[in-house]
Amino acid sequence: MNEKLEDFLAKLEGIITGKYEKYIKQSGKIPCKASSNRELSSIGKRAFHINLYKLEEAYKEAEKDIRFIMERRGSLIGANRPSPGKIAGVIVYRLSRSQIIHLSGGCISCEYQCVSRLNYIFAVICAWEYIGIPYLRVPQEIRNELLYSLMLRHINQETLALVFDTILNYTKK
């Protein structure tokens, strides 16, 4: 079982890192309200940068959490692993609580704050994609409520796990 866990965690790290690399490449495709919704790259500005040290740190914390779940619950969770929602809850919690994405100067001082929620959005996108649900397939009101809760309310990994497992079961119907 330990070998399965190591393989799983190595794959998970690669997937999360790959998602953030994809977002780095897409950073100029974010519309900027201050420049009449033109893409940021078209006006020569970079909206944000990703702190790879913080990304690695967040992954290490998620890895510890997953190991703890496996050790604590052991045979109670069966031969596989915790539910997909449980892992997604750990992913979104750890990624959203770390300051991985840093806004560039122009965006920090802008009145519109178009990209101020990126850290939370990217964390949620990673979790949705982990459980196999495209971000845009989830209804807008659910995405908004989840982002609001992540940013402004107390929410923990257990609650997030229930949310993701519920949505996963709901979308299978």
pLDDT digits (tens, 9 = 90+) for 33-59: 776 655 555 455 566 778 888 989 999
Q: Kindly report the average pLDDT of the chain as a whole number.
A: 80
φ and ψ of 50, to 5 deg: -110, 125
Range with the largest mean pLDDT of 11-15, 18-22, 116-120: 116-120
Token code pair at residue 104: 């560039």
Task: Report DSSP state, residue 109.
Answer: S
Count CA atoms closer than 13 A to 87's CA, side-chain side.
Answer: 23
Range with the largest mean pLDDT of 64-73, 105-114, 151-160, 162-171: 151-160
The whole-angstrom separation of Cα 7 and Cα 112 is 43
> Is pLDDT at 137 greater than 90 in this prediction?
no
Strands (E), 23-138: 31-32, 38-39, 48-50, 101-103
The whole-angstrom separation of Cα 173 and Cα 166 is 11
Query: What pLDDT, on a 0 to 100 scale, did the predictor assign at position 51?
Result: 84
